[in-house]
Amino acid sequence: MLRLWLRRLALLLVGVPFAYLVAGAVGGAIPVRADRRAPATGVTVYIESNGIHTGIIVPKVAAGIDWRSVARAEHLRNPRYAAYDHLAFGWGDRAFYLGTPTWADVRPATVLAAAIGSDATLVHVDHLPRPAPAADVRAVVLRTEEYRRLSAFIAASLKPGGARHPGYGPYDAFYEGRGHYDALHTCNEWTGAALRHAGVTMGRWTPFPATVMQWL
């Protein structure tokens, strides 16, 4: 009997991650707004990926949206970085963000806890110059109304009057977020959901970086 239960446990440990990977690949391959045509001119935003996490880079001021009152110079360890003209937004689990300043700090228990889920989320904001498009940084041109929808989605992920935490370096900070993080609602799905909300062609469910970047 013990051997049978061990076999079932082994199948579960292998089968659940495999099913998750397959479901993510399938969900990411089903397009939303597949008929969208990018405008010739508009507001250019960028989607970045480090292979694990994706984020959205926007100009600090564009199309009537001014982020400077949200991400302020005094929130940084070095306020001089606030002179940069773009911000990178990422959303995720609070414990994972604060507990893993480097990838070497990632522990299985931290990953498992994030996958199980938490209502404690943060928005990570980096001040940076306008990036150059590359394999891991894709430019997306948005119409004014699309950019405003994207901005509204990002703003709704920030908790008004929420706590603030120092970032990893002198140029970034964490802001208390809203929303529930778990294996279905990952940082990458947040990016995909933001782009879908804006009206950009994107996969229906994007839990992995590849499921986001393949559409851009």
pLDDT, tens only, 177-194: 999 999 999 999 999 999
> H or E stretch including 54?
strand 54-59
Q: Could you give the percent of the chain with pLDDT greater than 90?
A: 81
Mean pLDDT of 165-171: 97
Q: How far is CA 169 from the centre of its chain?
A: 19
Neighbours of 113 (CB within 10 A): 15
Question: Is pLDDT larger for residue 3 or for residue 111?
Answer: 111
The type of residue at 87 is L
pLDDT, tens only, 62-72: 999 999 999 99
User: So what's the pLDDT on residue 111?
Assistant: 75
- How does residue 149 score in pLDDT terms, banded at 50, 70 and 90? very high
- How does residue 109 score in pLDDT terms, banded at 50, 70 and 90? confident
User: So what's the pLDDT on residue 73?
Assistant: 98
Domains of the chain: which residue ranges? 2-32+41-213
Neighbours of 57 (CB within 10 A): 22
Beta bridge partners of 44: 141
Burial profile 159-193: b = 16 or more Cβ within 10 angstroms, e = fewer:
eeeeeeeebbeebbbbbbbeeebebebbbbbbbbb
- How does residue 60 score in pLDDT terms, banded at 50, 70 and 90? very high
Mean pLDDT of 163-186: 97
pTM value is: 0.91
